[in-house]
């Protein structure tokens, strides 16, 4: 558990650097800073226990899943990440492959469930499927490196892992911000495939703690049994039903996020920080990562520092999106003050 670190930890910034005069500009997450405007929540969502309200059927239609039995609403992807490793077979016939630089919850979760975990370098995801991996976790696009694999590669890996008696787990937390992103959601229900979708990132509703697990009905039945009743609260379900139905907001937001992602990437390039970017965050590997992160923090801008000295490659800083023009200007000014030429 000591290796699990998340963005959004502004309290840590306050402890280390105090409170800036203009307040903290938190760019340490990949969450849409201008999230879905929550409508009025019906009183019954607060007063009654959650029940079948059609949310899974709505999500199935939204994600292109043919069988609603292949969709389960969960209390954020976290609930599935912690529970699924206990439901997947493990033994002497292969390991669980997880990216060295990636979302830090997966490796501890599989290790706690008794799996043999191997941490794979980025190059492994750009080559062929390792022969000794039985289950493989792919965050697509990867967080924080922004590596995006084509659907054809993932479909091939799924077929080969399933033939080994294994599973491909694809975490698509950030994919909704792309036009026609390489999602495997339409294949949901196929044995040996698990797809995780988030409401927290694109919709900006991280505090609602809700997401969806897409998988074979038999696996979802076991997951539902393990999680128990009423894992997703009624108000969150009501909010997400509204968000999934609002296709106009989705289209407008997708366009805005893509423009913002390009703007962020260009701003970092301008200040000598080559990067890879998604519509929701940019990844800048640099030997100056520590100084960059600290310099921005002294300017009241909190970013996410990734430093893995035992692994190959550079440390890096992940930047989320500023929420408004004031935030963009603060970031530009701070980058100018900490850039190599400053």
- Whether 10-35+248-338 and 43-245 share one fold: the answer is no
On average, the pLDDT of the chain sits at 93
CATH for 10-35+248-338 is: 3.90.1150.10
β-pair partners for 137: 169
Q: What residue ranges do the domains of the chain occupy?
A: 10-35+248-338, 43-245
Higher-pLDDT residue of 228, 339: 228
Query: Which pLDDT score is estimated for 312?
Result: 56
Q: Which CATH class is domain 43-245?
A: alpha beta
Cβ-Cβ contacts under 8 Å for 150 (sequence gap 6 or more):
182
Tens digits of residue pLDDT in 269-300: 999 999 999 999 999 999 999 999 999 999 99
CA distances from 46 to 52, 234, 235, 237 (A): 15, 6, 6, 11
Between CA 135 and CA 341, with CA 313 as vertex, the angle to 5 degrees is 140
Distance of CA 329 to the CA centre of its chain: 27
d(CA 185, CA 147): 19
Tens digits of residue pLDDT in 195-241: 999 999 999 999 999 999 999 999 999 999 999 999 999 999 999 99
For residues 188 and 215, the answer to whether their CB atoms sit within 8 Å is: yes
Query: Which pLDDT score is estimated for 4?
Result: 65
Confidence class for position 1, pLDDT limits 50, 70, 90: very low
Query: Which pLDDT score is estimated for 169?
Result: 98
Tens digits of residue pLDDT in 98-121: 999 999 899 999 999 999 999 999
Sign (positive or negative) of CA dihedral 269, 271, 275, 281: negative
For residues 194 and 160, the answer to whether their CB atoms sit within 8 Å is: no
């Amino acid at each position: 558990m000591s290796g699990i670190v998340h963005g959004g930890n502004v309290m840590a910034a306050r402890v280390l650097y105090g409170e800036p005069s203009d307040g903290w500009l938190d760019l340490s997450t990949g969450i849409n800073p201008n999230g879905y405007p929550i409508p009025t929540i019906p009183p019954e969502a607060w007063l009654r226990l959650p029940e079948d309200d059609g949310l899974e059927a709505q999500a199935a239609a939204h994600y292109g899943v043919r069988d609603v039995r292949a969709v389960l609403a969960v209390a954020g992807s976290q609930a599935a990440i912690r529970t699924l490793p206990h439901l997947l077979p493990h033994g002497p016939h292969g390991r669980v492959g997880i990216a060295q630089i990636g979302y830090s919850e997966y490796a501890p979760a599989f290790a706690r469930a008794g799996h043999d975990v191997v941490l794979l370098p980025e190059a492994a995801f750009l080559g062929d499927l390792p022969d000794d991996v039985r289950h493989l976790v792919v965050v697509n696009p990867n967080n924080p490196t922004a590596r995006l694999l084509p659907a054809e590669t993932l479909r091939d890996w799924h077929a080969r892992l399933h033939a080994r008696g294994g599973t491909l787990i694809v975490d698509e937390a950030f994919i909704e911000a792309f036009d026609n992103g390489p999602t495997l959601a339409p294949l949901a229900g196929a044995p040996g495939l698990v797809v995780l979708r988030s409401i927290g990132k694109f919709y900006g509703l991280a505090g609602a703690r809700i997401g969806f697990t897409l998988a074979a009905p038999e696996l979802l039945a076991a997951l539902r049994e393990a999680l128990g009743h009423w894992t997703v609260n009624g108000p969150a379900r009501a909010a997400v039903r509204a968000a999934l139905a609002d296709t106009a907001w989705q289209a407008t937001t997708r366009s805005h996020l893509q423009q913002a992602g390009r703007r962020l990437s260009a701003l970092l390039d301008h200040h000598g920080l080559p990067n890879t970017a998604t519509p929701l965050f940019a990844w800048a590997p640099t030997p100056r990562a520590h100084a960059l992160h600290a310099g921005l923090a002294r300017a009241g801008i909190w970013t996410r520092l990734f430093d893995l000295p035992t692994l190959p490659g550079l440390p890096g800083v992940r930047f989320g999106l500023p929420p408004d023009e004031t935030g963009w200007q603060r970031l530009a000014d701070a980058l100018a003050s900490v850039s190599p030429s400053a």
